[in-house]
Structure formats: structure tokens, C-alpha cells
Structure 1
Amino acid sequence: MGGSAGTLTPTALLYLGLCQGLWDQARTGTLPKPSIWADPGPMVTKGSPVTIWCQASLQADVYYLYKESVHGSWPMKTSQDSSNRASVSFASMSSHNSGKYQCAYQRGKSWSQGSDLLTLVVTGVYDAPSFSANPTLVVASGGNVSLSCSSPWPRGSFHLLKEGGADVPQYLELTFRRKRYQAVFLVGPVNTSHGGTYRCYISPESYPYLWSQPSNPLHLQVTGVYREPSLSAQPGPLVQSGDSLSLLCRSETGFDRFALTKDEELRAPQCLDGQPSPNFTLGPVSRSHGGRYRCYCGHKLSSTWSAPSAPLDVLITGMYEKPTLSAQPGPSVSWGENVTLQCRSEVLFDSFHLSKEGSLAPPQVLHLQDTVIPNQVKFTLSPVTSDHEGTYRCYSSHSNSPYLLSQPSDPLELLVSGPHWYLYVLIGVSVAVVLLLGLLGLLLVRQRRRGKGRKPGAADPEPKDRGLQDRERERERRPTSHHITIQDSITAYRL
């Protein structure tokens, strides 16, 4: 077993071949136990260098490294910048260097307790196993996924590791299929911590620290962590073969990674390849571009994604001969009436699509149960309003290739007449009825108030002309009365 030792110094005495009895004394020491670790890590590729470090909380005189099942120990080289840690380096990792290690230190006549065990594994000794996921590597939050590691070795152990050092599940079952042993690891219910890169290894039963080469990496992606974005097509989901199409994924602010998947109705996406822009350009499009798309949003350097957007069907036109489109009773219809648009094909098809120029809505689809030539379907618009006015086209397709459509039919322009006067009459009648009801209500309230103000049996008030006559008579009597009063005063004075 190879190693390197430092030069003797007053603070770090190097002892070779420490006997087993002295190590037993060290492991039962009273000083605090040191910590132990490997740099760059406890898993080392065959032929690569590795350094084992031992660090104490106190300054020590001597450090020793002990390997399990080996009689003796190695002195450790004290670090130049501190005497409270020391190291042993292996320039080229081999199968002889693998195993479990402990370290201890001595200060004066006192020994420390032994450190925790460090398991040093050498990888790349055997061929890599096979590694796969079922049903998919893209899993919705709360779902489950099985990771399978298989090898032809009859006896041994399977090891599942995740980048970042997170805890991984123990294998659920060990089976033998097609001359291969297979270990199945169940991951789930998944959450954000399960996203990341996994690899598996195998090791023989008799050499547990000698591992195989790593398997192919599997990148587990977790969806449904954030709100779903929206997906739209420009100029629209109907695209002629050979043209280009842009799919725009809109989301809340703060996301810098977007992914587009296709045909999730048949299977979950096998991968999510992110890009910084929410615009995905397809084209020149061909038969293979037809399908159902969804988009996701997420963050860089993360294995978590949003919930999927609502599905968007991209339909490729120009695959077959065009059908014919007609209107019954005709292309001019009055507002409020019914109209039937008939799509007819002389070739055997079982699905027909009706689209309106400028509409953002997906085309209407009708399926035939009885495919007798000529094929035809009827799209009914009822009742017709001004919104139905426009240019229509129809397409034909096969149900086993729902995203591949024929050439468009000749355009049919639907004209809707009379919406204005009909609407004005309806509004005028409604306003007149409301005003009439309001007037009748006011008259009824006024009549009720008058009835409450009159007392039973009371005489009607006299007219205003009679009251004026009484006041005039009163004025005629006033001068006579005044004259009598003056004469009486004169008579009284004379007396």
C-alpha cells in the first residue's frame, strides 16, 4: 500500500509500523476524537490521486492513520499552516487502497478517541451496469418513478448515487431476468429534492469497496412545482407544409428557462431541454412536426419545472387533396337564423375540420362513423350573429393521423345581413317598455299618496274665486266702522 510521508518536525513525529496494541490504546483515548475526510472525495476513480485528512480541535504532537483489517498504521504529515491537522496522500488510487480508515492523535502521553470511519471506494474496476427509468424521467410532483440497475454478475451489490450527495432510496427488489440481475429502486412520492442526476454502480460480494465504472447518467426532472404557462402559435396552429411556425410560451416573470415537449398524450416526455427564450421556431415544417405540444418554465441549474401548459395541437396542412365547402341554404343569412356548412370529399376520410379566418380558436372537428364515399359532414351555426360573419375553410384527415390535414377547401365567405336594424328595433322596444312601466309606477304611487291625505266625509274646499269675494266685502265694511269710532270720540270730548 503506497503512501507519502512528510519530513520529521518537532511538532509532528512520524512513526512507522505502529503495533496493534498501541492503536487499541489510541482508540480508547480520552481526548476529543478528530474528524476525517478524503479529498476530492471518498469515491476515487482507479489511478487518480486522493488525500486523507485528519483534523483535531487541539494541537497534537502525532497523528496516525489506521486501516481496518490491517495490522499497523501510517504516520500522517502535519499541515504546514496548522499543527491541528495532518494528511496522507496516495498518488494513484488502486484496489489495495480501498477500505475503511480511522485516524487518531497523541498529545503528550494522552491519546484521542478514534475518528469516525471513512470508507474509501475505488471505482472503474469493472464494467458499467445498465441503468434505466420507468415510466419516464419527467415526473409530476407527487408521482413515482422506478430506477433499474442491471448486471450479469450473479452475486454482488447495487449502489445508487445522486449528484450532490443527497440521500437515495435502498433498492426495492432484486430479480433475475434474461440472464441479468436487476435491482429496482423506487423514487417517490417525488418532490423538489428528488430532481437531479443519478448513477448506479455494482460491486462483487467478496470485494465490497471495488466498484464498477459508473452507469450512464439519468437526469430526473420534477414538474408541477410552479404555475403552468400558456402556449400559443403564431400565426396560428394551422400551418402549410414547408412554412414556418413560432410557438410562444408565456409565463410569470422571473423564469429564465423554457422547454417544449411533443405528444405527451401518448407518453410522458423523455427529456426537457431548456432554452433562455420562450419562443420556439418550427420550420420549414413537415409531417413530423404535427402533434400535440406543451411547454414548461423553470430556472437555470435546477431540475424542477412548472406544471405543463394546456395542450396545443399543431396541424400540418397540404397532405391530401382538398375537399369542397358549401353553405345551406346559402352564404348570405339573416341575423338570428341558422346556416349549415357542408364539407364534402370524394376520397375516403373519416375526420373533417372547419376553421374561420382570423379566429384564435382551434378548428371544429367532426368524425364520421360510416365512411361511405362521398364523405361529408355538416357544421351547423345557430343562431347566426355578426360574430359568425367571415371566411371559412374546411379540411379532411384520417383519425389515425389526426395532425396531418388535406389542402384547404376553397374559401367560403359567410355574410350576415340585418344585424343593425334588428338590434335597433329590439333596443327601442325594450327602452319603450321600461319607460312605460316607470311612468305607470309613478302615477300609481301619486294616487296612493292622495288617498292617504283625505279624511273620510270631509267637504271639498271652496274655489279660490269665492274666497276673493269674501275679502272684498270685508274691505267695504271697514270705512263705516272707522267713521263711527271718530264721531263717538268727538261726542265724548264735548261732554
Structure 2
Amino acid sequence: MTPTHGPALSWGESLTGTSLPGLSVGVRTQVQAGTRPKPTIWAEPGSVIPWNSPVTIWCQGTLGAREFRLDKEGSQSPWGRQPPLEPGDKAKFSIPHVTEGYAGRYHCYYYSSTGWSQDSDPLELVMTGAYSKPSLSALPSPVVTSGGNVTLRYDRFTLSKEGVQDLPQRPGRQPQAGLSQADFPRGLVIRSDGGRYRCYGRHNLSSEWSAPSDPLDILVAGQLHDTPALSVQPGPTVALGESVTLLCQSRLSRDTFLLSKEGAAHPPLRLRSKFQGGQYQAEFSLSPVTAAHRGTYRCYSSLSSDPYLLSFPSYPLELLVSGFESYLNVLIGVSAAFIVLLLLLLFLLIRCRHSRRRKSADAAVNNTQPAEGVQLDHQAATSEAPQDVTYAQLNHSTLRRETTTPPASQLGEPPAEPSVYATLAIH
């Protein structure tokens, strides 16, 4: 039987075939399994593999094994079988190109003269690159002192640390429409929490993950017995657009210096140290200075042997940016002027529209008024029998409605002043 989610292995094959030739023994029954100790299963270079990259799954049992088999959860038949390698206690299953069908949970087992072994513990093979990469950030800062608190915020479910397997997972939540994220509090940070982290997005419990996020380094301060000194040249007050240099120094041999700004979530600046004037130091140049450079700075030292463990912080240094207040006042003034101008234009536009509507209404009224002396009698037909007719008598000063059988002007009595009659309705 061909597996439904991917290829199987026959003797001596890698995980690239599509059938299981010569295999007559199906998945073991509960009676067959469990007479030998369970083997160990692992993946090289790891169990989280980028799409289309190679991976090797190893299964190690005891000496005297005759055959090793690999099962994938959800498959109806073994995915592969291999003879043991020397000295006879393990076998490898190679996957040249990991794609969606290979992602999932695997178990291995082996057969010896005394029967089948137990199943190994599960190995979850994860394929990354199924979705676009998420984001990862540290709150309040990626630099944290031992015993402090930091929260790693990431999109959807899965957090990874280099060199560590099986970090705790967190369910996602949606604080904003269309966004998923999860918080991973690392309360009471200890030395071992320092390291490089990434996060992955995935749907539900799928073994198909997104591409990894950009790396985030968590740095634990106070782990080296050193307190560097931080100074500023030419001085702590600098004008907008000018240049300033922050100098971090230590009398102890240090490989790297880091400059951190208080309240900044982005990673600290990092420079290799130079030995000069009897001290190890690094110069951090800020040019041109902007309003964003204002704030409180500290520097740290570290060793290349463990770059995630830092010294104690230097004394804080506050950098002031002159001209910022005047710049801010100009910005506020320009913004206020723009708002006033916008309101004025809006007022003129509304007034112009009202004026146009008024002119249109006056023109319509003028078009409906008849000229003096013109009779507007649109009676379509004359009936043989006398009918009541409604007339409107119009003149310059009076408008009155009369209902009569003919009007006085038609009976030979001249009107007191010229009038115009128009038939309005026939009853």
C-alpha cells in the first residue's frame, strides 16, 4: 500500500520512492510489538527543516537488530525499512528534499531474533517556509538584568531558541483585527535565558510552519564582574544635525561593547573593542543627531565565548538635543497654520456651493413667471355642457383663486384692471 501523505522506503532506499516493493508485513499489531526495549529516534541536522532541504532520521536500538522500520502517524503502512549499519544497532532514513508531505510525527522500531521492539518516542519533523515570516520583539527591552522580567511577543504559537528543543508553546490571540500574536513571559530571568530566539507561525497543530522570524537576541546583564564607564564627546548637549560620540571603556579585557538606549525595544548597538591608552574601548558615533537620539544611555561589555551574557551596566548618561524645543514650536506653528488654512478653504467651498444653489433656484422661478398681457389658457377641449372651471387671476399686486362658471370678463363686464387667466383644473 502506498502511503497517503508521502513516499515509503524499501531496502537500501532513501525516502524518495513511491511504493514498498517486497513488503509483505504490514503495520505491527499490538500482540507483535513490545518484546524488546524501545529505540531512540532523532533527526540531523535537526527536526525543524526549511522547505526543500535534506534531513536524516536516525533510529538506534540494541545490537543484533535485523531490520529497522519507520512509521509516520496517519500513514497506513511503514514509511521505510532499512538494514542496520555497523556495528548493527542503528539505521538511517534519508530525505533529500523535505516538502509538505514529509512534515509530521514519526516513530521507529526494529526487529531482532526475539521479536519486535517497542515504538520509539515520537519525533515531530517540522517543515518551515509554508507561510511568510512573523515578527518577534522583546518588552520592555532585549537587555534584561538577572532576576528581572522580559516578555517575548510573537505572532502565532511557536517560539524557538538556538540549541534548545521543545520550548513551551503559547496559544495565539488576536488583539487587533487580522493579527495573531502570543506573549511568552520570562519572569525572573536567569543566566540560561540568554540566547538567540526566533518564532514561527502555524495553523492549529500543523507540522507545516512559516519561515522563521528575524532573530532576536536576549542579553542577560550582570553576569560579568565588570562595570564599564560611559562618556560623551564633545558633551552631553548636542545641537540637531550635529555629531556626537559615546565612548565605552573598561580596564578589563573585553571583546565587545554594547550601547543600549533606555526604553528602546530595538537591539543595542554592538562594536568590537579596541585596546587604546591602557584600556579596552569602543566609540559609538551618532550622526547626524535627531530628536530620536534624546534619552538615557548605558553601555555593557561582553566576551565572544558567550556573547549573550553581559557585564553590569555603566552609570546612565543622558543625552540632550538642543534646538529640539524650537523645532517643535515651529512644527506646531506650521501644523496650526495648515489646519486654519484647511478650515478656511472648507468654509469658502461651502459658501460657494450655497451661492450656486441660490442662483439656480432664482433662475428657475424667473422661468416660470408669464409675461404681462399673455394669456395662459391651455384648456385642451371644450365640452358641450357647461362645466365648472377653476381659474387663477394674476396681476402685479394680487393673486386670488376663483371658482366660477365663466369669469366676469367673459360676461361683458370689463375688469377693473388688466388680468391674466389660466385654467388650473377641470371638475
TM-score, length basis structure 2: 0.62
Match for 1:364 among 269, 272, 276? 269
**2:128 matched residue in structure 1:** 223
* Separation of aligned partners in 2, 1:301 and 1:288: 28
AA paired with 1:128?
K
* Separation of aligned partners in 1, 2:101 and 2:61: 28
**1:161 matched residue in structure 2:** 71
**1:397 matched residue in structure 2:** 302
- Contact kept, 8 Å, 2:68 with 2:82, in 1: the verdict is no
Query: Which digits, 9 at most, give the CA deviation of each residue in 1:449-486, with x for residues without a partner?
Result: xxxxxxxxxxxxxxxxxxxxxxxxxxxxxxxxxxxxxx
Match for 2:230 among 284, 301, 325? 325
Gaps of 5+ in 1: 1-40, 47-121, 252-257, 426-495
Change (3 A) 1:138 1:423: closer
User: Shift of residue 367 of structure 1?
Assistant: 0.7
**2:53 matched residue in structure 1:** 143
Match for 2:36 among 99, 103, 126? 126
- Asked if residue 281 in structure 1 is aligned to residue 180 in structure 2, the reply is no
* Separation of aligned partners in 1, 2:37 and 2:220: 47
- Contact kept, 8 Å, 2:140 with 2:265, in 1: the verdict is no
**1:241 matched residue in structure 2:** 146
Q: Which has the larger Rg?
A: 1
**1:45 matched residue in structure 2:** 30
Gaps of 5+ in 2: 1-25, 173-181, 331-427
**1:375 matched residue in structure 2:** 280
Change (3 A) 1:151 1:371: farther
User: Shift of residue 172 of structure 1?
Assistant: 6.6
Where do residues 423-442 of structure 1 align in structure 2 (5 Å cutoff)? none
User: Shift of residue 242 of structure 1?
Assistant: 0.7
- Contact kept, 8 Å, 2:274 with 2:280, in 1: the verdict is no
Equivalent position SS for 1:387? helix
User: Shift of residue 235 of structure 1?
Assistant: 0.9
User: Shift of residue 298 of structure 1?
Assistant: 1.8
Equivalent position SS for 2:33? strand
Across the aligned residues of Structure 1 and Structure 2, the Cα RMSD in angstroms comes to 2.8
* Separation of aligned partners in 2, 1:365 and 1:275: 31
* Separation of aligned partners in 1, 2:119 and 2:85: 21
AA paired with 2:169?
G
AA paired with 2:294?
E
- Asked if residue 182 in structure 1 is aligned to residue 86 in structure 2, the reply is no
Match for 1:193 among 94, 101, 112? 101
- Contact kept, 8 Å, 1:138 with 1:270, in 2: the verdict is no
Aligned residues: 295
* Separation of aligned partners in 1, 2:65 and 2:244: 75
User: Shift of residue 204 of structure 1?
Assistant: 4.4
Query: Which digits, 9 at most, give the CA deviation of each residue in 1:363-414, with x for residues without a partner?
Result: 1111125488422221112222333222221111112121111222112122
- Asked if residue 270 in structure 1 is aligned to residue 178 in structure 2, the reply is no
AA paired with 1:190?
V
Query: Which digits, 9 at most, give the CA deviation of each residue in 1:199-242, with x for residues without a partner?
Result: 2222348x9xx533222322222222122211111111111211
- Contact kept, 8 Å, 1:171 with 1:184, in 2: the verdict is no
TM-score, length basis structure 1: 0.54
AA paired with 2:28?
M
Match for 1:292 among 173, 193, 196? 196
* Separation of aligned partners in 1, 2:134 and 2:65: 49
